[in-house]
Structure 1
């Protein structure tokens, strides 16, 4: 958690915020991720069957991440933290754009693409260098390294921690995600009943759950005005225009 003692904003971010920085993401519509079937690159079975293909796929995604830059939404959230607010980011994204924008309290529900981890012990994690991960790269216990990414069919180990963070929110801001992916979809249920919830997404009107206010804009368009409003007010009030 952040050391800030100001109003606590919990931000739940998804693919939409990273897409504005040029990072392509998996979409349910065509079942493909960068022209690969998800079953072939994002499951434990795929890694067991063809680890070289999986490692090459994530090497390419890692290079895309390094070339991407934070956008106005990432930067605005970091600026709000710098203004004295407590801002906890819970992201479904595996990139490091929130951190590069300046956010210091970021929880990655689905792992981090710039990290590797042991195939035997998920607690053994290591930064990935420019050469990527290769067959024969081993953890300290002698097991093959793999991307530090939660694949389809695997548990989400940091979900309980995410629930604890949401339960302490003064306001919840959802950005660029429908929260349709389980278990992240249940996170809003953990928010205090008095905490307002806002959703910023181009499809917000059709996605918005009951009790959540919709802002039908791209993240880079919808988040900065909210942040400026909160900075001016010194509190997490819902603007009249929402």
Structure 2
């Protein structure tokens, strides 16, 4: 099915759905200038993703950990949610999207007015001490300041080797289980357990991604295109 026909089909499904949930990943934010991590030209090509974002790096190679996440904070502070994020917020205002589960830690859904957002991997906007959990500012983290207890500062994100926040995870599962339409945007669905979420719906499943994934066979509809352009076109099809 050509992308135009697929987008028209998706627009009809959105209009006919009583509960629609989004699952979003890094591909939604790359068009805002946030580096991807798993593409061939993504940010991970300069780092070992299994290490630099792990508890081991935080505890044993803090200089590397700190440098990497300082760069990520800088990206979030200098980039802004693109037009596609604004489309999603407007569709929420029209009660056409009911919940958003995201793997992204940039906070762009909330910054663009999103509601009922479940940040599965946490948020770069919150900094705390790894030892005593006292909250700190992003500026303190970037300056390399230690906590008053002597502990290391870190972003409030899920590192490799850590479990997802239980409450947020359960909220996302509850939303998916009651949905009759799940739209997956900008993720290769490689990360467990988040890649299990689409299968938890009894409704239709749609993928919007720049390239095919290993899980495309699970979807009723796959659209290989820019997330931003697809969302803008979908809004036009819905409201015209």
Normalising by the residue count of structure 2, what TM-score does the alignment of the two structures yield? 0.80
Does residue 75 (structure 1) correspond to residue 75 (structure 2)? The answer is no
Give 1:29-68 correspondences, 5 Å limit: 29=40, 33=44, 35-68=46-79
Question: What is the DSSP-based 3-state SS (H/G/I as helix, E as strand, rest coil) of the residue aligned with 2:128?
Answer: strand
CA drift at 1:60: 1.7
**Which of the numbers 19, 22, 26 marks the counterpart of 1:11?**
22
String of CA shifts for 1:27-52, please: whole Å, max 9, x gaps. Answer: 26589626222244211111111213
Change (3 A) 1:132 1:66: same
Number of the residue aligned with 1:183? 193
Give 1:36-185 correspondences, 5 Å limit: 36-120=47-131, 124=133, 126=135, 128-133=137-142, 134-138=144-148, 143-157=151-165, 158-185=168-195
Distance in 2 separating the partners of 1:107 and 1:138: 31
Number of the residue aligned with 1:24? 35
Question: What is the DSSP-based 3-state SS (H/G/I as helix, E as strand, rest coil) of the residue aligned with 1:20?
Answer: helix
**Which of the numbers 223, 229, 232 marks the counterpart of 1:224?**
232
Distance in 2 separating the partners of 1:89 and 1:25: 20
CA drift at 1:135: 4.2
Distance in 2 separating the partners of 1:146 and 1:33: 19
Question: What is the DSSP-based 3-state SS (H/G/I as helix, E as strand, rest coil) of the residue aligned with 2:218?
Answer: coil
Q: How many residues align?
A: 221
1:172, 1:198 within 8 Å by CA — same for their partners in 2? yes
Normalising by the residue count of structure 1, what TM-score does the alignment of the two structures yield? 0.80
Number of the residue aligned with 1:240? none
Number of the residue aligned with 2:222? 214
Change (3 A) 1:216 1:159: same
Change (3 A) 1:230 1:171: farther
Q: Please, which runs of 5 or more residues in structure 1 have no aligned partner?
A: 1-5, 233-242
Question: What is the DSSP-based 3-state SS (H/G/I as helix, E as strand, rest coil) of the residue aligned with 2:21?
Answer: strand
Distance in 2 separating the partners of 1:117 and 1:57: 17
